[in-house]
Each structure stands twice: as C-alpha cells, then as structure tokens.
Amino acid sequence: MIRNIRHSLSMLLSLAALALVPASPAVQAAETATRMELPAPNKTGGMPLMQALSARHSTKTNYSGAALSAQQLSDLLWATWGVNREDGRRTAPTAMNRQDVRVYVALENGVWQYDAGHALIKVLDGDWRGQMGGGSLTLLYAIPQDNEWGGAHVGSLYQNAALYCASAGLGNFVHVSGLHALDGKLPLPEGWKVYIIQTVGLLK
Ligand SMILES: Cc1cc2nc3c(=O)[nH]c(=O)nc-3n(C[C@H](O)[C@H](O)[C@H](O)COP(=O)(O)O)c2cc1C
C-alpha cells in the first residue's frame, strides 16, 4: 500500500516536473549561445563619400558566395548599425534615440545577432542564405511592428550598408524575397518582425 502511494507520488512529481520544463526549442534553434568576437572595425580609409554615393547601386546577380573576411564583416556591420560615439549612439539615427532595430546576419554557419560591441551571437543553426537571395550573407532588419518610424530607421541602416558595399566593392541589394524564411525561428521580442532583408556579397 505504502509502496503504491510512493509510486503514485513519484509519478505525479515527474509529471509536474515535465510541465515546468519549457517546450523544446525550435528544431533549428542554435543549441548553444555561441559568441563570435569580431575584429574592431576599421574606421579609417574607404572610398571618399561622394565617390561611394556615385558607386551605390543594387546588384542582383553574379555573387560568388565566398565569405567576407572577418574585418569586412565587422566593418560592414559597424557601418550599418555600429556605435560611433562614446555615449552609445549609432551610425544611423532613430526617433528619440530608442535604437529599436535589431540586425541579424545569415552566414554559412548560422544566423547571428549583431552586438555592437563587435561581436555576433548565434541565434539559429544552418545555412539560410540560399532562401534569402544568396550572396556571402544576408542582413535581416527587425523592428517593433507598432513603431511608425521603423521603416525609416531600417532605410537608414540599409543605405549605410549599401554605401559600405560601394566603398568596398561588394554587391548588395535590398529585397523582400525570402523575407519570411525565418518567421517564427528568430528570438525576436514580442511584437517584432523582420521588416526587410539585404543580400551582400563578394562578386565573381
Ligand atoms: C524597400 C525596397 C524593397 C526592394 N525590394 C526588392 C525586391 O523584392 N526584389 C528585388 O529584386 N529588388 C528589390 N529592391 C531593389 C530595387 O529594385 C532597386 O533598388 C531599384 O531597382 C533601384 O536600383 P538601384 O538600387 O540600383 O538604384 C528593393 C529596394 C528597396 C529600397
């Protein structure tokens, strides 16, 4: 009798414990919170601004698919959404300096969130670039759905990226094809969405 009660109790406890364990993460969710340090961005040199503006254009074909160097990746991300002042403000403006934009980068070895302290945090395993335009990488711009200025913010960021690409001789284009490839897979805050994406890459 006592053994039966003990058995029932232990079953109940196991079931209760199971109920407390969070649901298993999405299949492709990164298994560990891998952090990749990037080299400090090189903030000198590059093409003079007026030449970069003259060279800015969309490139939709002819990507080699080869990886950018770590320095190019760091420079691209810094130009796009890096911190450029000691008070933490950035290379692109946001309404009331809320900085409510997240940049993710899909590389050959997963999808990473940009940390403006010159690092990437892996959020998803797998190579998703083919579903989002190919290239060396895809930038994903996420914003709160209810931010009326979100589109304006993202436009500033993708133009920063495009000017860096012009300066560095990389191809890029902004697009919506594959925009929803990672729906439900990125660890976005409640009410956020990927607004648009940008393919970037070395050319053949
Ligand atoms: C918000 C936005 C959305 C775009 N969406 C797409 C797209 O879905 N597919 C595509 O091939 N190009 C897309 N483009 C790229 C435009 O076709 C391109 O910018 C336009 O033809 C002008 O060419 P340019 O960037 O070389 O000046 C988009 C550009 C912007 C700014």
Nearest CA to ligand 1 atom 11: 175
The alpha carbon of 82 and the centre of ligand 1 are apart by a number of angstroms equal to 24
The pLDDT of residue 82 is 98
Write the residue with the smallest CA distance to atom 5 of ligand 1: 175
Average pLDDT of the chain, as a whole number: 89
Closest residue by Cα to atom 4, ligand 1, is 175
CA distance linking residue 161 with residue 112, whole number of Å: 17
Q: Which atom of ligand 1 is nearest to the CA of 176?
A: 8
CB 112 within 8 A of CB 104: yes
Domains detected in the chain: 28-201 (3.40.109.10)
- Rounded Cα distance between 201 and 136, Å, is 4
Whether residue 10 is predicted with pLDDT greater than 90 in this model: the reply is no
SS (H, E, C) 64-118: CCCCCCHHHHHHHHHHHHCECCCCCCECCCCHHHCCCCEEEEEECCEEEEEECCC
Q: Token pair of 151, please? A: 């589109």
For the chain, percent of residues with pLDDT exceeding 90: 84
**CA–centroid distance, residue 175 to ligand 1 (Å):** 6
Pocket of ligand 1 (CB under 6 A): 57-58, 60, 173-177, 196
Pair type for strands 119-124 and 192-201: unpaired
H helix and E strand count, the chain: 4, 7
Q: Does the pLDDT of residue 47 top 50, yes or no?
A: yes
Pocket test for ligand 1, best of 60, 143, 176, 197 (most atoms within 8 A of CB): 176
Q: For residue range 91-150, what is the model confidence (pLDDT) as tens digits?
A: 999 999 999 999 999 999 999 999 999 999 999 999 999 999 999 999 999 999 999 999
Confidence of residue 33 (pLDDT cuts 50, 70, 90): low
